[in-house]
């Protein structure tokens, strides 16, 4: 088993299930995210900035979004009512954070690409609207350069020092993500498929145990892994989060949100 131990004064790391744009209409879930943010800031203070790793941006080499404010959001979804395309989130840019990421990667011989035309996608801004509604914390988005679990854990390890500077590292995905299960007619509280429940239960047990090795080997060890994640991009941000906890000792995790939404597990963790 790989474990993680870090200075408790460092900013924690989050893995959250980010929801689709209609998350904004779910009063229970939005309240859970707001309460999570309030508790985090009461315990650790307001983050200096936020580094978001969203399931919705895959780009190699490692890339960061625009470092200046005012760049339009990426409405990377289709077929929703117009109101969801009118959401704004004008958080400040985080050029200093981009430089910090660049330096950490350079120390390991890696380069960072900057995409000054790219705004935050819905995997980033949808939860941030609920957790930091004043949009007063600088935000930078980081791409997933691969879906390989070990490489993403290693990337998270390189980013770990940012925590000591007050950066909140957030992996934004979904604990289960099979859109074939999504049935709007059934409602958000419909009974989830057994595969979603089984995978969610396994993930909760492995995170509680701090078993990073098992989590890395999800395809081989988790029940219904291929059904819960036909493609693993919504699970992959968890690996960056685990690595940012410096996967060398034991993870300390706390479930911040649980339950299901249209059959998908919205389980989310705070990691220290």
Whether 173 maps to a domain, the answer reads yes
Which domain does 76 fall in, by range? 13-271
Asked if the structure places residue 194 within a domain, the reply is: yes
Give the whole-angstrom CA distance, residue 243 versus residue 192.
Answer: 30
Tell me the two tokens of residue 231: 């493609």
5: in domain: no
The residues that bridge with 268 in the sheet, in sequence order, are: 257
| Total number of domains in the chain | 1
Please name the helix (run of DSSP H) or strand (run of DSSP E) that holds residue 204, with its range, or none: helix 194-209
Could you read off the pLDDT of 187-199 as tens digits, one per residue? 899 999 999 999 9
Quick check: is 123 in a domain? yes
User: What SS3 class is residue 50?
Assistant: strand
Question: Is 52:124 a contact under the CB 8 Å cutoff?
Answer: yes
Kindly state whether residue 3 falls inside one of the protein's structural domains.
no
Question: Tell me: the pLDDT tens digits for 16-30?
Answer: 999 999 999 999 999
**Total residue count of the chain as it appears in this document:** 272
pLDDT value of residue 36: 98
pLDDT tens, position by position, 152-177: 999 999 999 999 999 999 999 999 99
**CATH number of the domain where residue 108 is located:** 3.40.830.10
In a domain, 207, yes or no: yes
| 6 pLDDT above the threshold of 80 | no
CB 159 within 8 A of CB 240: yes
CB 173, CB 239: distance < 8 Å:
no
Q: Is 83 exposed, middle or buried (0-12, 13-18, 19+ CB in 10 A)?
A: exposed
Q: What is the pLDDT of residue 169?
A: 98
The 10 Å Cβ neighbour count of residue 147 is 15
7 lies in some domain: no
H helix count then E strand count, the chain: 9, 10
**Domain assignment of residue 45, yes or no:** yes
Average pLDDT over residues 32-42: 98
């Amino acid at each position: 088993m790989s474990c993680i131990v870090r200075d408790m004064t460092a900013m924690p790391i989050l893995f959250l299930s980010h929801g689709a744009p209609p998350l904004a209409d779910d009063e229970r879930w939005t309240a859970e995210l707001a309460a999570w943010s309030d508790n985090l800031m009461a315990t650790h203070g307001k983050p200096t900035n936020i580094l978001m790793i969203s399931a919705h941006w895959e780009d190699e080499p490692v890339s960061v979004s625009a470092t200046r404010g005012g760049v339009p959001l990426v409405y990377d979804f289709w077929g929703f009512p117009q109101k969801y395309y009118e959401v704004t989130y004008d958080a400040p840019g985080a050029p200093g954070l981009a430089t910090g990421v660049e330096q950490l990667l350079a120390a390991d011989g890696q380069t960072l690409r900057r995409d000054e035309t790219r705004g935050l996608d819905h995997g980033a801004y949808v939860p941030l609207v609920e957790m930091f509604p004043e949009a007063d914390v600088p935000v930078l988005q980081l791409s997933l350069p691969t879906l390989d679990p070990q490489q993403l854990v290693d990337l998270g390890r390189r980013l770990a020092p940012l925590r000591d500077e007050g950066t909140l590292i957030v992996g934004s995905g979904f604990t289960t993500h099979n859109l074939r299960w999504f049935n709007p007619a059934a409602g958000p509280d419909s009974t989830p498929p057994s595969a979603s429940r089984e995978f969610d239960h396994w993930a909760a047990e492995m995170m509680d145990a701090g078993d990073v090795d098992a989590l890395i080997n999800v395809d081989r060890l988790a029940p219904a892994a291929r059904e819960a994640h036909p493609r693993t991009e919504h699970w992959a941000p968890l690996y960056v989060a685990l690595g940012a906890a410096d996967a060398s000792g034991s993870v300390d995790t706390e479930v911040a949100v649980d339950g299901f939404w249209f059959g998908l597990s919205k389980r989310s963790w705070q990691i220290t």
